[in-house]
Amino acid sequence: MEESKKLGLGTFIGMTMALCATVRSIPSVAATGWSQITYMIFAVVFFALPVALISGELGTMLQAEGGPQLWVKTAMGGKWGFVTAWLLWVQMFPGMVMVASTIGPLWGNTFGNVALGNNHWFILANILGFYWIITVLNLKYDMAKVGGNIGVWLGVYIPIVIMLIMGIAALIKTGINPASYLGTFSWGKLIPSFDNLSTLQYFAAISFIYTGIEMSSVFIPRLHNAKKTYTRGIFIALAGLVLMNILNAMLVANTVPDGQIQLSNITQPILLWCHILGWPTIIANIFSFMVVIGVLIQLSAWVTGPSKTMTQVARNGQLPASFGYHKVNKYGVSRNVVLTQSICISLFALLYGVMKNVNNVFLTLTNATTVIYALVYVLIAIAIIRLRQKQPDLERPYR
């Protein structure tokens, strides 16, 4: 690639942050109060940063298509490559339900009916209805071209700016709220105490913020001075993600009364800020509508993305031909894979029918997704050790 067309540090930082930026996790982070700072540092140092650096080496060493599946397959054989592809696919089942569960509360807030948005049956109906509509559209049309970057702007960037502006304005007006999740500061609140281990249930949700960071390694061949730019870019991008999440989560934690946070309702603090500032609640309605459109477009991108790993392993002969997973339509999408995952996602969604506590379902789904994804990261870590032993002379553009 010509030097003039190489990606610079600033562009790479923006592209990396776009992979992990989300507003969905902010209520989960806020629910931990002051201890969110400790949890966030731990998640970055022991989870996100090692994964990003390991992926940087593997991604430049093995640049063919396949990502984590290719890395593990090269190091440990076809069987473990299949396991990796399988795990990356099945993490979608609880993961997509968790993402789609925000649609119900967002619709409720869009039309000013907060109670309806928090009804578990209404949330279930929204997940099933919209996910199947998106599935059908992805089978009929090339939806990747329809969404583009609109979903990221509507679902992430603009909402984050709105939350920061309103949260800071409310903080200036009210100061620290002692009755909130944050409460008054003390050094002891930074460390989760044995008396209050309940915040540990949110640690997986905080770690989940950084899942997908390994995908930044695909940009390495396009970077100017890759070795230096990748390392600096990853550190700066992670610092940006930490600041973005902690600033917003602190503002939310200082507003929501202790014990009343709604994990799947990102509009809850917006409504509270409207009341504190005396601003019209139509801001919350517009905010909710923007985010719901963003979530739907992002869901659409995920319908076909991970399914392609299963199509690849089917073509490698690791799945029975009778499944038909190897057959694709003119958009390169396997109808059988997509329908199978939609049925499985629908079954996971039924948790909202059998469990009335919306917060508990959201946490269960988040934790399940994070644990499955963490298993992939364990396999990737084993892969880099095996390749250092088995193929020490293999060219490593980034080490």
Q: pLDDT at position 64, please?
A: 72
* Cα(236)–Cα(242) distance, integer angstroms: 10
Residues in the chain: 399
pLDDT digits (tens, 9 = 90+) for 305-334: 777 778 888 888 888 999 999 898 887 888
pLDDT score recorded for residue 193: 62
Q: What is the pLDDT of residues 7-30, one digit of tens each?
A: 788 888 888 887 788 888 899 999
Strand (E) or helix (H) holding 155: none
Segment of 149-163, 194-208, 352-366 carrying the highest mean pLDDT: 352-366
Residues 207, 163: Cα–Cα separation, whole Å = 22
Alpha-carbon distance 52 to 243, whole Å?
18
Q: Which of 140-154, 200-214, 344-358 has the highest mean pLDDT?
A: 344-358
Residue owning tokens 């999408």: 333
pLDDT, one tens digit per residue, over 83-96 is 998 998 999 899 89
Tokens describing residue 399: 């080490």
Q: Which residues contact 369 (CB under 8 A, 6 or more apart)?
A: 91, 94, 95, 98, 208, 211
What domains does the chain contain, in order, with CATH numbers? 3-390 (1.20.1740.10)
Residue type for position 233: G
Residue 122 in contact with residue 116, Cβ under 8 Å? yes
Give 230-254 pLDDT, tens digit per residue: 888 889 989 999 999 999 999 999 9
Whole-model pTM: value is 0.83
**Surface-to-core class of residue 334, CB atoms within 10 Å of its CB (0-12 exposed, 13-18 middle, 19+ buried):** buried
Phi, psi for 257 (deg, rounded to 5):
-60, 140
Query: Which tokens sit at 218?
Result: 């695909």
pLDDT in tens, 106-159: 999 898 888 898 899 999 999 999 999 999 988 888 766 555 567 678 878 899
Closest CA to 248 of 17, 14, 15, 21: 21
pLDDT for residue 296:
84
Distance CA 114, CA 100 (A): 17
